[in-house]
Structure 1
Amino acid sequence: MKASSVQQAFKSLTSRIHPQLPLSERESQRLLNALTSSFRSQLEHHHHNHDAAASAASASACAQPSLSPITATDRHLASILTNPLLTKPVHQQLKSKSKHPIALFEDQVAAGRANLPSARLCLEAFRNSLSSLPPAQVKDHITRYAAGSRALRWLWTSAYTRSLSFALDARFCSHLAFFLVHEGKETALWELIDTPVATSPNLTAKEASIRKGLLLSSIVKTHLSGPDQSLESALSTFFRALETSHTSHASITHAGVYLTQALVKLGLCSNSDVALYDKFIDSIPRWTKNHPDRATYRIANLTLHHPATPSADPALDFIRELRPLASHPFLNPSTASQRSTVFAFFFDTVTLLQKQQRFDDALWVMEFMQQRFPDDFAPPRRQSSAVPAPYQVSETSETTSPHSTFPEWKVPELG
Structure 2
Amino acid sequence: MVVRTPPLNSLRKGFLPQIHHPLPLNKRESQRLLESITTSFRKNLDKEHPFETNETSTKRLGGPGTGMVESQSMTSSRPTDRHLRAILSNPLFAQPRSTTVDTTTSATVTPLNAHLDVFHSAVSKGLMTTRRAAGILATIRSQLLAESPNNIRQRMGASGAGLSVLRWLRASGQENDLRFLSDHALLKLLVPFLYAAGLQEVTWSWLAQLASRATEIELETVPGKAGARTLSVLMYAIINENTEIESPSVSLDGSFAALEQAHSLLPREKSPAATAAVRYSWAKLSWASTVDAAGTPETICGSF
**Bigger radius of gyration among the two:** 1
**Quick check: which one's helix share is greater?**
1
**Quick check: which one's strand share is greater?**
2
TM-score by length of 1: 0.37
> Which structure ranks higher in relative contact order (CA pairs < 8 Å, sequence separation ≥ 6)?
2
